């Protein structure tokens, strides 16, 4: 009997060893950098998974009214995958309120949320970035930067005290240090939108930037 019991125990042990183990479904989690954002800030979160399968995660971002983005694939190459936004929150695009990030990965779905509030931060629209790049590269003259402030930035943020047209746009000079230092620092993220606006506001108020007459 003892021999039979020992043989049976060995048989069961070998059987369990060769049986395929149950495969757990990959899990997914959204880790928010913070849950409250304001205008001028950029959304940042991390998608954490238990297994890298080679497939992307699919995200949707929606507001309280249910309006949301189209499906956005996010490559999952690590167990923790940072997802930084390229664009800051703008008043013209994002209404205040609560937002939801829906993430689907390998059949698993999770949702994280954050709120957007107004702290009266001063921020420049995304359209200004490409204009500044062209200016810093020497592709457009100084007057086009001031024209961009006049067209794309609210008067409550910065007021251009003169009207720019096709006849005088080339008669506007901006000090070299503004291009070589302040504006470059802003483009590199070393100074804020508000700091750049204050520099241009001062130069305009003091008529250091003005229309030159022949």
**Single residue among 77, 96, 117 that ends a domain in this structure:** 117
pLDDT digits (tens, 9 = 90+) for 189-210: 899 899 999 999 999 999 999 8
Give me 12's structure tokens: 């069961």
**Single residue among 97, 117, 137 that ends a domain in this structure:** 117
pLDDT of residue 87: 82
Q: Are residue 75 and residue 97 in the same domain, yes or no? A: yes
Q: Are residues 31 and 46 in contact, defined by beta-carbon separation less than 8 angstroms?
A: yes
Number of structural domains in the chain: 2
Mean pLDDT of all residues in the chain?
A: 87
Nearby residues of 50 by Cβ (< 8 Å), 6 or more positions away: 24, 26, 27, 28, 79
Give me 70's structure tokens: 């189209």
Percentage of the residues of the chain whose pLDDT score is greater than 90: 60
pLDDT digits (tens, 9 = 90+) for 23-60: 678 999 999 999 999 988 889 999 999 999 999 999 99
Q: Which of 71, 135, 63 is nearest to 104 (CA)?
A: 71
pLDDT of residue 40: 84
Residue 101, in any domain of the structure: yes
Q: Are residue 105 and residue 154 in the same domain, yes or no? A: no
- The residue whose two tokens read 């183990």 is 21
**Single residue among 64, 91, 117 that ends a domain in this structure:** 117
Q: Are residue 33 and residue 102 in the same domain, yes or no? A: yes
Residue 135, in any domain of the structure: yes
pLDDT of residue 14: 46
pLDDT of residue 124: 86
pLDDT band at 22 (very low <50, low <70, confident <90, very high): low
Q: What is the C-alpha to C-alpha distance for residues 188 and 192, in angstroms, rounded to an integer? A: 10
pLDDT of residue 105: 97
Q: Are residue 50 and residue 70 in the same domain, yes or no? A: yes
| 3-state DSSP assignment of residue 68 | strand
Q: Are residue 94 and residue 164 in the same domain, yes or no? A: no
Residue 33, in any domain of the structure: yes
Q: Are residue 135 and residue 106 in the same domain, yes or no? A: no
Alpha carbon of residue 196 to chain centroid: 20
Q: Which of 169, 175, 178, 179 is nearest to 211 (CA)?
A: 169
Q: Which secondary-structure segment (H or E) carries 28?
A: strand 28-32
pLDDT digits (tens, 9 = 90+) for 91-146: 888 999 999 999 999 999 999 999 999 888 788 888 888 999 999 999 999 999 99
Residue 7, in any domain of the structure: no
Residue 61, in any domain of the structure: yes
Global pTM? Answer: 0.65
Q: Where in the sequence is the domain holding 62, given as residue range(s)?
A: 28-117
């Amino acid at each position: 009997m003892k021999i039979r019991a020992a043989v049976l125990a060995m048989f069961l042990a070998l059987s369990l060893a060769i049986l395929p183990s149950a495969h757990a479904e990959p899990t997914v989690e959204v880790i928010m950098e913070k849950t409250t954002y304001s205008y001028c800030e950029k959304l940042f979160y991390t998608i954490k998974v238990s297994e890298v399968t080679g497939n992307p995660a699919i995200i949707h971002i929606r507001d309280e009214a249910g309006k949301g983005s189209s499906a956005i694939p996010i490559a999952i190459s690590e167990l923790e995958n940072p997802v930084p936004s390229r664009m800051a929150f703008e008043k013209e695009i994002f209404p205040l309120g609560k937002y939801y990030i829906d993430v689907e990965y390998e059949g698993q779905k999770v949702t994280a949320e954050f709120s957007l509030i107004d702290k009266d931060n001063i921020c420049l629209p995304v359209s200004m970035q490409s204009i500044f790049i062209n200016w810093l590269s020497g592709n457009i003259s100084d007057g086009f930067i001031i024209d961009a402030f006049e067209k794309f930035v609210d008067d409550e943020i910065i007021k251009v005290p003169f009207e720019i047209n096709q006849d005088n746009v080339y008669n506007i000079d901006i000090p070299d240090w503004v291009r070589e230092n302040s504006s470059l620092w802003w483009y590199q993220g070393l100074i804020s939108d508000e700091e750049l606006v204050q520099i241009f506001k001062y130069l305009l108020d003091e008529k250091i930037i003005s229309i030159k007459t022949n």
